[in-house]
Structure 1
Amino acid sequence: MDGTADGRPTDFRRVVSFHPRGGRLNSVQRRAFDTHADRWYTEAATTTPPLDAAALFGRTAPVALEIGSGMGESTPVMAAARPELNVLAVEVYKPGVAQTLHHLSKTSVDNVRVMRGDGVHVLETLIPSGSLAEVWLFFPDPWPKTRHLKRRLVTPAFTDLVADRLRRGGVLRMATDWEPYAEQMLASGTAARKLRNPHPGWAPRPEFRPVTRFERRGLAEGREIFDLEFVRR
């Protein structure tokens, strides 16, 4: 892992964990983006580091970073259940960003901001050390084929990076329905010197996390759901 001038880890991952996709918006997404971007949206590429969360959210509150918020169906639900948090939902695909804005527009939730960007890049370049209350990574791409394992996001280097950005007592929460990846997540979190697992192994499901479409699909296919929780020492 390389480092910045202030000693923060940076730029550890050369193989991205997402696959390039088209960015075409459907009519609902285009309308949502055009209508609500000014209120809830920001670009990682145009954000001056370090992130000024109080200015972005218009209030001072602990920040939870959701990496890979996807189409955003669960983001407003989780934010509504955790009103004490400012939730920064980071998603690399513009259709997902726009769909999240659409979901937000159907609620009264206002403690969410949606950022388009690579979650690791955001952690590396925008998030100061010791500043996050929580990091959420729910159902990332498991990359099940052997030739694609190097694309998996969760590695010891990733959990070290997250640990650096969490404040003392902050929490990394993850979930997957792919058992080999769950084992990799558990090993990577356990290997992080600044993290501890408060459970014997798997964590109970967080009450605020709704059942996502990925989870429903996994359950329908007979797979087990694995939740993990690591606390910053």
Structure 2
Amino acid sequence: MNNDRLNADDPGQDTSTVAEPPRRGIKSYVLRAGRMTAAQQRGLDEVWPQLGLKLEDGLLDLDAVFGRRAPRVVEIGFGMGASLIEQAETHPDTDFIGIEVHAPGVGKLLDEADKRGLTNLRVYRDDALEVLRRCLPEASLDGLQLFFPDPWPKKKHHKRRIVQPAFVELVRTRLKPGGTLQMATDWEAYAEHMAEVMAEAPGFRNTSSEGPYVPRPEFRPLTKFEHRGARLGHGVWDLIYRRSE
């Protein structure tokens, strides 16, 4: 199980167009204390002023943030950032925004982005649901990625899973028509939950022609965690849905 999991509470009331129930303060992540390496601390201290974004920045003008007009992809819960760094380096014509609450992961990603000279990457160290609600304009994203979120396997904790109808609807409003919601999990029961939620979600079309799942897309890099799971015989389920309206 990947410990670098997701970072958002249960969806609450969106102040723009998504009608949602009052927020209950339930989080889909648990903040963990951890040691910071010198490189991670450097990322937070020296690179954050250039690549970091904050909730108090409010609604973003993404063209102004990146200094250009380009496809935009958000990744929620990037862990230590290896996958996101690889994508940003491999796809320089796409702008990426990563959202993660854990300081070591944010610091690591910022340090690596600076060392590799990446200019197409920005980072939030905030609750992902709040970022979606308050900072990302409607119909502004070409893709949103949710790779290996915490599955909260115990039944009493299922309410903590980020993939819920209100979250999916909020994502839909931030995607452009034709934009994609891309998910992956190593927990089959959570994959089934994702598929069930998406089957009932209005305004999305499954890109799979057979069943709810798709083969691992080439654009999703294999993580160290996933390599380890493969050696142990663990499965991984990918789901990709496109905003249809």
TM-score above 0.5: yes
Counterpart of 1:105 in structure 2 is 114
Give the aligned partner of residue 223 of structure 1: 234
Separation (CA, whole Å) in 2 of partners of 1:191 and 1:14: 25
Contact persistence 1:68–1:91 (CA under 8 A): yes
Amino acid in the other structure paired with 2:40: Q
Mapped partners of 2:72, 2:34: distance in 1: 28
Query: Where do 5+ consecutive residues of structure 1 fail to align?
Result: none
Q: Which amino acid aligns with 1:141?
A: D
Partner residue of 1:88 out of 97, 121, 142 = 97
How far 1:105 sits from its partner (Å)?
A: 2.8
Per-residue CA deviation, residues 111-164 of structure 1 (Å, 9 max, x unaligned), is 111111111111111122211110000111111122222111111221111111
Q: How far has the Cα of 1:192 moved from its partner?
A: 1.1
Equivalent of 1:189, from 190, 198, 206? 198
Tell me the CA shift for residue 106 of structure 1.
3.4
Aligned equivalents of 1:227, 1:209: Cα separation in 2 = 10
Equivalences, count: 230
Structure-2-length-normalised TM-score: 0.87
Q: Report SS of the residue matched to 1:170.
A: strand
Aligned counterparts, 1:81-230, within 5 A? 81-199=90-208, 200=210, 201-230=212-241
Residues 136 and 174 of structure 2 are in contact (CA less than 8 Å); yes or no, is this contact kept in structure 1?
yes
- Please give the TM-score of this superposition, normalised by the length of structure 1: 0.91
For 2:242, what is the secondary structure of its paired residue? Answer: strand
Give the distance between the partners of 2:193 and 2:117, measured in 1 at CA.
37
The residue identity in structure 1 corresponding to 2:17 is G
**What is the CA–CA distance in structure 2 between the aligned matches of 1:164 and 1:125, rounded to whole Å?**
13
CA separation in 2, counterparts of 1:208 and 1:155?
25
Distance 1:134 1:29 in 2: 27
How far apart are 1:13 and its partner, in Å? 6.3
* Contact 1:82–1:208 under 8 Å retained in 2: no
Letter in 1 for 2:18: R
Q: 1:7 aligns with which of 17, 27, 31?
A: 17
Distance (Å, rounded) in 2 between the aligned partners of 1:177 and 1:123: 25
Alpha-carbon shift at residue 3 of structure 1 (Å): 4.5
Residues 162-212 of structure 1: per-residue CA shift (max 9 Å, x gap)? 111111000000101110001111111221111110212212212121111
Distance 2:144 2:24 in 1: 18
**1:47 is matched with which residue: 57, 61, 85?**
57
1:28 aligns with 2:39: yes
Percent of aligned pairs with the same amino acid: 42
Q: Give the Cα–Cα distance (whole angstroms) in 2 for the partners of residues 218 and 150 of structure 1.
A: 26
How far does residue 23 in structure 1 lie from its aligned partner after superposition? 6.1
Name which of structure 1's ranges 6-15 and 171-180 shifts more when overlaid on structure 2. 6-15
**Cα contact 1:8–1:129 (8 A) shared by 2:** no
Q: Residues 78-135 of structure 1, C-alpha deviation per residue, up to 9 Å, x if partnerless?
A: 1123223210001111221101112213324321111111111111111222111100
Structure 1: how far apart are the matches of 2:106 and 2:118? 16
CA gap 1:221/1:149 in 2 versus in 1, 3 angstroms: farther
Q: Deviations over 1:38-67 (max 9, x none)?
A: 2212222x212x212122222221211111
How has the CA–CA distance of structure 1 residues 12 and 223 changed in structure 2, closer, same or farther, with 3 Å as cutoff? farther
Which deviates more from structure 2 when the two are superposed, residues 8-17 or residues 115-124? 8-17
Return closer, same or farther for 1:225/1:13 CA change in 2, 3 Å cut-off: farther
8 Å Cα contact 1:136-1:172 kept in structure 2: yes
2: CA distance between counterparts of 1:13 and 1:214?
Answer: 32
Which runs of 5 or more structure 2 residues have no equivalent in the other structure? Answer: 1-11
